[in-house]
């Protein structure tokens, strides 16, 4: 009696469907992460495909794209992964994600943060509005688990002088944010104006009563020193229901120079 060919069933129902996920090699060429990047460019690839290129390989029964998807879902998305340290990435212990791959992810995320914080040589960014302030601070706040208070020094054309200056860390308190610390560097660099800023690790940029008290204290001190304070911007995380930052000037919650 003839036996059915390999891969076929002799129950009269035809060939059985293959079990298990496709390997990367079994995918259509334009769905394979590396080939898709070469064909369409990195900007056209979804997050899981880009991460899959970093990971390079999956594990038995789970191809590299599925592993990348598992990692992103486990962290709650790309922003959360970007905030994670090497130790946090490694501690999740995803099968197929070892120490070396965790290092590579951490290094790639750090390069992205540094690139976002830099501007072309010789070009000082112009700070025109609260969104401009938030753009300068987002790469700095992405991994922070505590409040940090900064001063942004501006020249007469509202160009940023150097990097945002970190004044203090910890809960914002008027006793910790002393005008001497805030305005010392402004005087030294002959800044024309200052923008105050800090982050809310909770993600909600709504100001507290202490935020408003600190702002009033610093604005009063600035007028004695003859330095303009243009705004105080609080940076959080953007969601579908709220923006990622709040300007006390725009909301009319404090009086600033030129208001």
Which DSSP string corresponds to 179-216?
A: HHHHHHHHHHTT-SEEEEEEE-TTS--PPPHHHHHHHH
Contact 146, 172 (CB under 8 A): no
| Region of residue 14 (phi > 0: left; psi between -120 and 50: alpha; otherwise: beta) | left
How far from 251 is each of 96, 133, 245, 247, CA to CA, in Å? Answer: 49, 16, 11, 6
Per-residue pLDDT of the chain (259 residues; tens, 9 = 90+): 444 444 443 444 444 434 445 565 666 555 678 888 888 888 888 898 899 999 888 887 788 888 888 899 888 888 888 878 888 898 887 888 889 999 999 999 888 877 766 655 556 788 989 999 999 998 888 878 889 999 999 998 899 998 899 888 876 665 567 788 889 888 888 899 999 999 999 999 999 999 999 999 999 999 988 889 999 999 998 888 888 999 999 999 999 977 6
Token reading at 200: 């809310």
pLDDT computed for residue 34 by the predictor: 85
**Beta-carbon contacts of residue 197 (< 8 Å; ≥ 6 apart):** 133, 137, 149, 150, 151, 152, 164, 232, 233, 234, 235
**Beta-carbon contacts of residue 165 (< 8 Å; ≥ 6 apart):** 150, 151, 152, 153, 185
pLDDT computed for residue 11 by the predictor: 47
pLDDT computed for residue 12 by the predictor: 45
pLDDT computed for residue 44 by the predictor: 85
pLDDT computed for residue 21 by the predictor: 55
Q: Where are the beta strands (DSSP E) in the chain?
A: 148-154, 165-169, 193-199, 228-235, 245-247
pLDDT computed for residue 24 by the predictor: 56
Contact 233, 245 (CB under 8 A): yes
pLDDT computed for residue 57 by the predictor: 86
Strands across the sheet containing 165-169: 165-169, 148-154, 193-199, 228-235, 245-247
Indicate the fold that domain 130-247 takes in CATH: Cytidine Deaminase; domain 2 (3.40.140)
Domain ranges of the chain: 24-116, 130-247
pLDDT computed for residue 43 by the predictor: 84
Token reading at 22: 């496709």
The torsion defined by the Cα of 112, 132, 123 and 140, in degrees rounded to 10, comes to -40
- CATH class, range 24-116: mainly alpha
Largest distance between two CA atoms of the chain: 103
How far from 40 is each of 44, 45, 161, 186, 195, CA to CA, in Å? Answer: 6, 8, 39, 47, 41
């Amino acid at each position: 009696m003839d036996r059915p060919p390999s891969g076929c069933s002799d129950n009269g129902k035809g060939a059985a469907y293959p079990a298990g996920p496709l390997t990367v090699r079994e995918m259509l060429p334009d769905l394979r992460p590396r080939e898709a990047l070469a064909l369409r460019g990195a900007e056209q690839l979804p997050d899981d495909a880009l991460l899959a290129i970093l990971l390079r390989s999956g594990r038995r029964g789970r191809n590299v794209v599925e592993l990348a998807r598992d990692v992103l879902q486990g962290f709650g998305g790309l922003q959360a992964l970007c905030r994670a340290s090497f130790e946090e990435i490694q501690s999740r212990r995803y099968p197929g994600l070892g120490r070396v791959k965790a290092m590579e992810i951490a290094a790639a995320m750090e390069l992205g943060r540094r690139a976002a914080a830099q501007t072309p040589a010789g070009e000082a960014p112009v700070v025109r509005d609260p969104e401009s302030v938030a753009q300068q601070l987002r790469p700095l706040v992405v991994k922070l688990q505590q409040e940090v208070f900064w001063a942004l020094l501006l020249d007469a054309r509202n160009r940023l002088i150097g990097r945002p200056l970190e004044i203090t860390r910890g809960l914002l308190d008027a006793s910790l944010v002393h005008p001497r610390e805030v305005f010392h560097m402004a005087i030294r660099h002959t800044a024309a104006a200052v923008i105050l800023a800090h982050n809310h690790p909770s993600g909600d940029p709504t100001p507290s009563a202490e935020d408003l008290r600190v702002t009033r204290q610093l604005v009063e001190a600035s007028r004695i020193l003859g330095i303009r304070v243009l705004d105080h911007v609080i940076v959080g995380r953007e969601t579908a229901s709220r923006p990622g930052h709040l300007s006390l000037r725009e909301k009319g919650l404090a009086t600033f120079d030129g208001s």
